[in-house]
């Protein structure tokens, strides 16, 4: 499958804050990974003073690093005591335990997109037309939407939006194709997403849109009804005429 979904997951928790005499200190814990098997989890804890970091522990480095004079002194103390071993164990205790919950309940879930293929401009007299392929209400965000003409991928005259967040965990995306209609050609929109087992192809039907077909059907129904009423009126008139008795004056 073309789609290589690489997820950079960040779990951040502010675990300590202190406000004293107008000065502000806080600490953050972060868990970083790019794979669901959690083989590359990295734990980072950073302590800030007035928004500036002064000491940090990174599980990849394996020890505390100071960024200020005060931070360097604390790093020397913490790296030689039992606190360092506690921080080294946070990858298993804090990160992997929480990441497994996120993957099992959220990140491994997928929702199939609802795909619509419409013409924004109807082709007329060989002039250019505009098709729009839209994918709605899908999750996760990564998706690929592209066009094919007679089975070959279109690389020009295509304008696509970024994945747009709906604000409810779902996304939408739109792709436009400008083209000049050719007799007998086949135009398709192809969508690839984690919820599909393979690429899904949606062929463009150049026949009239449903709204136009409905208008024609309503008009035809009205015409038929008018003919029926006219015929009924004519028959009624003939019957009335045949039943009259002409009296000479």
Residue-wise pLDDT tens digits, 137-180: 999 999 999 999 999 999 899 999 999 999 888 999 999 999 88
> How many domains does the structure of the chain reveal?
2
C-alpha distances in angstroms, 20 versus 17, 25, 27, 205?
Answer: 10, 9, 15, 69
**Looking at residue 109, what is its pLDDT?**
84
Same domain, 103 and 126: no
Q: What is the mean pLDDT of the chain?
A: 82
Compare 77 and 123 and report the one with higher pLDDT.
Answer: 77
Structural domain boundaries, residue 160: 114-203
Domain final position from 107, 134, 167: 107
**Looking at residue 216, what is its pLDDT?**
44
Report the DSSP beta bridge partners of residue 42.
Answer: 32
Taking CA 2 as the corner, what is the angle to CA 38 and CA 34, rounded to the nearest 5 degrees? 15
Compare 67 and 6 and report the one with higher pLDDT.
Answer: 67
Domain final position from 162, 179, 203: 203
**Least reliable range by pLDDT among 96-100, 147-151, 164-168, 245-249:** 245-249
pTM above 0.85, yes or no: no
Mean pLDDT confidence for 87-98: 93
Confidence of residue 182 (pLDDT cuts 50, 70, 90): confident
Domain assignment of residue 219, yes or no: no
Same domain, 136 and 199: yes
Compare 181 and 52 and report the one with higher pLDDT.
Answer: 52
**CA 132/CA 124 separation, integer angstroms:** 17
């Amino acid at each position: 499958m073309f789609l290589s979904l690489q997820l950079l997951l960040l779990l951040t928790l502010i675990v300590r804050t202190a406000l004293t005499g107008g000065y502000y200190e806080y600490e953050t814990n972060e868990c970083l990974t790019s794979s669901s098997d959690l083989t590359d989890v990295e734990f980072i804890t950073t302590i800030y003073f007035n928004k500036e970091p002064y000491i940090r522990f990174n599980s990849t480095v394996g020890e505390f690093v100071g960024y200020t004079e005060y931070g360097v002194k604390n790093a020397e103390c913490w790296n030689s005591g039992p606190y360092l071993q506690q921080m080294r164990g946070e990858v298993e205790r804090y990160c992997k335990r929480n990441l497994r919950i996120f993957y099992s309940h959220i990140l491994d879930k997928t929702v199939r997109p609802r795909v619509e293929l419409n013409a924004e401009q109807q082709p007329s007299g060989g002039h250019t037309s505009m098709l729009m392929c839209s994918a709605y209400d899908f999750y996760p965000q990564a998706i690929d939407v592209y066009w094919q003409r007679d089975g070959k991928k279109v690389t020009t005259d295509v304008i696509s939006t970024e994945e747009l967040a709906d604000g409810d965990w779902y996304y939408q995306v739109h792709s436009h194709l400008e083209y000049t209609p050719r007799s007998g050609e086949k135009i398709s929109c192809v969508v690839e997403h984690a919820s599909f087992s393979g690429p899904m192809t949606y062929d463009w039907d150049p026949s009239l849109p449903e709204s136009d077909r409905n208008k024609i059907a309503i008009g035809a129904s009205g015409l038929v009804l008018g003919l029926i009423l006219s015929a009924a009126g004519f028959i009624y008139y003939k019957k009335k005429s045949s039943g009259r008795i002409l009296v000479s004056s």
